[in-house]
Every structure is written in C-alpha cells, then in structure tokens.
Amino acid sequence: MQAIYLVKFGNSKNAFEFRDIKPDKPKDDEVGIIVEASGINFADVVARLGNYRDCPPLPAIVGYEAVGRVDKIGKNVKSVKVGDRVLAFTRFGGYSQYVLQKENAIAKISENMDVGKALALATQYSTAFYACSVATNVLPNETVLIHAGAGGVGTALTQLCKLKNAKIYTTASSQKKLDYCKQQGADVCINYTEKDFSKEIKEPIDVAFDSLGADNFRKSYKVLNRGGRIVAYGASMMTDAHNLFTKAKMGAAFGVYHPAVFIMESRSLIGVNMLRIADYKPETLKYCMKQVIQLLEENKINPHVGKMYAAQDIAQAHDDMEARKTMGKIGIIW
Ligand SMILES: NC(=O)c1ccc[n+]([C@@H]2O[C@H](COP(=O)([O-])OP(=O)(O)OC[C@H]3O[C@@H](n4cnc5c(N)ncnc54)[C@H](OP(=O)(O)O)[C@@H]3O)[C@@H](O)[C@H]2O)c1
C-alpha cells in the first residue's frame, strides 16, 4: 500500500513522493479504511505552496477526504462495520490507500453512490452546508453572494442556497465558469476579473460567502444589507502574494472592523474553519456530512465532478487547480 507524501514545498513536480505505508491498528474509537479515491481541495494546494499554517511538518500526507471500505474497527466503534462503504473527513492524511480516522468523522454511503460526488460531500458540501444552514441560516428570498462560484465549495453553496429559494449572485473568472454557475442555479453571474462586482450588484446582499479574502472581502462587506451576514472561510487570493510586502498589503486590504459598527449596522462577520469544527465540535461535522449525504440520496443536490485523475497524476491535478482550470470536485482514483 502507498501514500502520497508532500516532501517539498513549491512546484508540484518536485513536491510529492509515493511511499510504501504500513497502517497501524485502529485505536478504540477509530476505523481503518481501504481507500478507493481521495479528494483534492484548494487547501491542499495552499499546503503544497507552504502557506498553510495547519499543515503538519514535512514529510506529510495532506488531503481532507477519502472514500473507501471499512477494513478494521476499534472496539468502541458502533456506527459502521467491516465491509461498509464509507466517506471519511480526514484531518490531513487523505492522499493514501489506507486511512485511519475517528468514527465521528466517518459516514456510511450507499454502494452505488458515484465516488467523485461522494468525495465532494466531505469537505466542500459539508463546509457549504455549515456556512449557509448552521452559521447563517439563509432564508427564502434572501440575496446571497457566492465567490468562486464554479469551484467545489462555490458549486455546493449555489445548489444549497437554491434549495432555500435564495436569489443567488456568483462571481467567477471566465465565461465558461459563469455559464457553469448559471447551470448550477445562480441568477446573476459576474466575471470579477473584468468587472467590479460591488458596482455590478444593485441591491443589498443578505449573506456573502467569501473565500478569496483581501479587498474581495472588503468589497463584499460593503454590499451587505442591514441584518446581513458575511462568512469568511478562505483567502485564495493570498496565494498570489509572493513576498512579505504583498502579503502585508493584501492583509491590510481586508479592512478594519469594530464590534460597535457591527451592532450599529446589525451586520455579522462569521469565520468558518471546518478543521476546528471537526476537532472541537465533531458532532456538528457529522451532522453536516449526514445532511448532505441525505440530500444527495434524495437527488436534491448533484455535485459536479470536474475530473477524477489517476493517483500518479497528482501533480497535474494540483497544477490544474492552482491555474483555476477546475470546476466542481476533483480527486484521485487509486
Ligand atoms: N474554512 C474552511 O473550512 C474551508 C473548507 C473548504 C474550503 N475552504 C476554502 O474555500 C475556497 C474554495 O475551496 P475549494 O476546495 O472548493 O476550491 P475551488 O473553489 O474549487 O478552487 C479555488 C477557486 O478559487 C478561485 N481563485 C481565486 N483566486 C485564486 C488564486 N489566486 N489562485 C487560484 N484560484 C483562485 C478560482 O476560481 P475563479 O477562477 O472563478 O476565480 C479557483 O477555481 C478556498 O479558499 C479554500 O481554502 C475553506
């Protein structure tokens, strides 16, 4: 059995090494899984570039999710049994043919669930569900703004907010992506590399979901309605900051906020980090995973699988994501 180790920060061609692994026995609350496919998230790209604080020291196995079959269970595990097909939210460790994970981050899935769609549910749909249903509770007819709408979390937010009958504004960087956003259910799609979205939007936004950071965050806050909520859950733009000066400049571009102003304007800023939720509120993560699994089983959502790569093509998959070429979910098949 093998795992893909991140051994060097930087260029994807030199970053990864396939190494043999000898899995440990699961602890009492753990499940051992023989992995069929592993998901790739933008956070993995950030980790590979050396910009992810939570990434374990190198050599490390990154990756937030895996689909596979239960091989062994610890003595306290009740919700799954050997042979079950499962989805695992892995706190790193996902790029591996064998995953050991706590029971509280694992959910059973059906035999016929498409593997790429299943991978989309662990991190991207669970994050989106947490953001729009737990953290902000988007209401019918509210206006929402979803940045990077063609991405994995963006697709999930669009489909979930559509289910809530919200009016959806999305942004993306190309016409192809805008067309895709429309197909996913967005009402208004804006190319934010060509136009200033904050000027294009002519009505107040009730809930903004920002994964880009820097001045994109500040502009999103600017278009918020009274009673509006803004969810900060990423800073993809910061990957363009290659030195301390540009990092500081982009950091300052977020803007400065004071609680008194939040009260006066009745606006809320909500930070979301699913790793922290997984660590400190595992029952909430499991709740989100179960909800999105059920929504897929009821055909209420339909994750888009951009591409499943062969595991050997991990560098190519990373390059495509970094170059903004991917839409929806991507992953690797073992
Ligand atoms: N806080 C959490 O718990 C949590 C959980 C999951 C994901 N996230 C965050 O959510 C965001 C989306 O994650 P994802 O895995 O679904 O990725 P993704 O959206 O599929 O891919 C990232 C997208 O970000 C946009 N982007 C903007 N600036 C970019 C840049 N400088 N370089 C590359 N892409 C850029 C691109 O879309 P356009 O071409 O349309 O600009 C790109 O396709 C990321 O910021 C990620 O870190 C956070």
CATH label of the domain that carries residue 36: 3.90.180.10
Report the nearest atom of ligand 1 relative to the CA of 275: 3
| Alpha-carbon span 124 to 144, nearest angstrom | 18
Burial 14-52 (b: 16+ CB within 10 A, else e): ebbeeeeeebeebeeebbbbbbbbbbbbbbbbbbbbebb
- pLDDT computed for residue 243 by the predictor: 84
Task: State whether 209 and 84 are in the same domain.
Answer: no
Side chain identity at residue 259, one-letter code? P
Task: State whether 182 and 229 are in the same domain.
Answer: yes
| Alpha-carbon span 23 to 33, nearest angstrom | 10
Asked if residue 143 has its Cβ within 6 Å of ligand 1, the reply is no
Ligand 1 probe mutation, 92, 132, 211, most atoms within 8 A of CB: 211
| Alpha-carbon span 160 to 46, nearest angstrom | 26
Asked if residue 107 has its Cβ within 6 Å of ligand 1, the reply is no
Task: State whether 231 and 308 are in the same domain.
Answer: no
Report the nearest atom of ligand 1 relative to the CA of 327: 20
Residue nearest to atom 35 of ligand 1 (CA): 236
Q: HSE (CB half, 13 Å, CA atoms) of 11?
A: 2
Q: Are 225 and 201 in contact (CB under 8 A)?
A: no
Residue nearest to atom 2 of ligand 1 (CA): 273
Of 126, 120, 95, nearest in space to 1 by CA? 95
Asked if residue 127 has its Cβ within 6 Å of ligand 1, the reply is yes
- pLDDT computed for residue 202 by the predictor: 95
| 30 CA distance to ligand 1 middle (Å) | 30
- pLDDT computed for residue 245 by the predictor: 86
| Alpha-carbon span 306 to 82, nearest angstrom | 31
Q: Residue 166's domain is classified under what CATH number?
A: 3.40.50.720
Q: Are 98 and 32 in contact (CB under 8 A)?
A: yes
- pLDDT computed for residue 226 by the predictor: 97
Domain assignment of residue 205, yes or no = yes
Report the nearest atom of ligand 1 relative to the CA of 192: 41
Of 105, 74, 73, nearest in space to 88 by CA? 105
Task: State whether 174 and 317 are in the same domain.
Answer: no
Domain assignment of residue 46, yes or no = yes
Q: Spell out, as residue ranges, where the chain has pLDDT lower than 70.
A: none
Task: State whether 135 and 223 are in the same domain.
Answer: yes
| 71 CA distance to ligand 1 middle (Å) | 33
- pLDDT computed for residue 239 by the predictor: 83
Task: State whether 129 and 237 are in the same domain.
Answer: yes
Average pLDDT, whole number, for the chain? 96
The bridge status of strand 106-108 relative to strand 85-89 is antiparallel
Residue nearest to atom 40 of ligand 1 (CA): 172
This model's pTM is above 0.85: yes
- pLDDT computed for residue 6 by the predictor: 98
Domain assignment of residue 114, yes or no = no
- pLDDT computed for residue 247 by the predictor: 87
| 151 CA distance to ligand 1 middle (Å) | 6
Domain assignment of residue 196, yes or no = yes
Task: State whether 267 and 127 are in the same domain.
Answer: yes
